[in-house]
Chains A and B, each alone.
Chain A
Amino acid sequence: MTPLEILAIGILFAGLGFFVAGTVGMLRFPDVFSRLHALTKADNLGLALIALGTALLTADTSVTLKLMLIWFFVVLASATSGHLIARHALRSGQGS
């Protein structure tokens, strides 16, 4: 294995760690809003690391660009849906 591959695999595992932490947070945190913290923040960072690790393993620029697009759209969708869920929960009185 080249040093680059070792670095990439390390980054991939770090990304996995954040996904695990986000999922554990979703299971352990007490309410809707706290769970959203776990899902939006930990998973975004996890996905960024996985995209970065995968990008290091490919020499193909178009694959790298696609990975960046995937990350961008997932972050956009997660921020938007997270905000919608929070707003709905707040209005339906689960906020207290």
Chain B
Amino acid sequence: MTPATQPTLAWRALIAAKRFLLFAGLWLVLTSAALDGLGFGLAAASAATWLSLVLMPPVSREVSLLSVLPLVPGFIDRSIRGGFDVAWRALHPRLPIRPAWYVHDTRLPPGGARVALGSIVSLLPGTLVAGSFGNRLYVHCLNADAGIRHAVAAEERRIAGTLKSRGPGPER
């Protein structure tokens, strides 16, 4: 990956085109590709693209859709296990929960990587990220369990691994 440089015009145009295609695709899905709506769709997708460029200007290290794709099966697997775990605890007559906090000092760089860690930990069975202050991630555990520390650390390593494979990432 090339180091962050001043975004060129062509690159910005490419980002805009990608976003336009995304919005146009959404329009086609929502209208079942009705022919008499295409004109409105063109206008709506253009307006949405403009608004997205204003609200979320392109940054040089944009996460590509393809790089996220390998994470999808794990996401689904964790959602299912997380759903079963909390459903079982909610319905159990004795309510087997022991809420506790676990504060995790993360070594991931701020930004996308930390957001990814937070989202994944929130999907794991029994854990929910409530926020972060500086490098500290506040993880709420539905049932205090020594395994949580290892689970969070494992997810962190996995994310750090994908960062490294995409180029020279910050290391400490």
Q: Which residues of B contact A90 (CB under 8 A)?
A: 130-131, 138
Identify which of B24-32, B44-52, B64-72 touches chain A.
B24-32
Given contacts A18-B83, A66-B29, contact A89 B130 (CB under 8 A): yes
Given contacts A21-B91, A65-B29, A79-B119, contact A87 B86 (CB under 8 A): no
Task: Kindly identify which residue among B26, B88, B90, B130 contacts A69, using a CB–CB cutoff of 8 Å.
Answer: B26
Q: Interface residue tally of chain B, by bracket?
A: 20 to 34
Q: Interface residue tally of chain A, by bracket?
A: 35 or more
Please report the C-alpha to C-alpha distance between residue A31 and residue B140 in the assembled complex, in whole angstroms.
11
- Interface assignment of B33: CB less than 8 Å from any CB of chain A: yes
- Interface assignment of B41: CB less than 8 Å from any CB of chain A: no
In the complex, how many angstroms separate the beta carbon of A24 from the nearest chain B beta carbon?
A: 5
Given contacts A79-B122, A83-B122, contact A34 B79 (CB under 8 A): no
User: B141-167: which residues lie under 8 A (CB-CB) from chain A?
Assistant: 142
In the complex, how many angstroms separate the beta carbon of A35 from the nearest chain B beta carbon?
A: 10
Residue contacts A-B, CB under 8 angstroms, 6 given: A24-B91, A33-B140, A37-B128, A45-B84, A62-B33, A66-B29
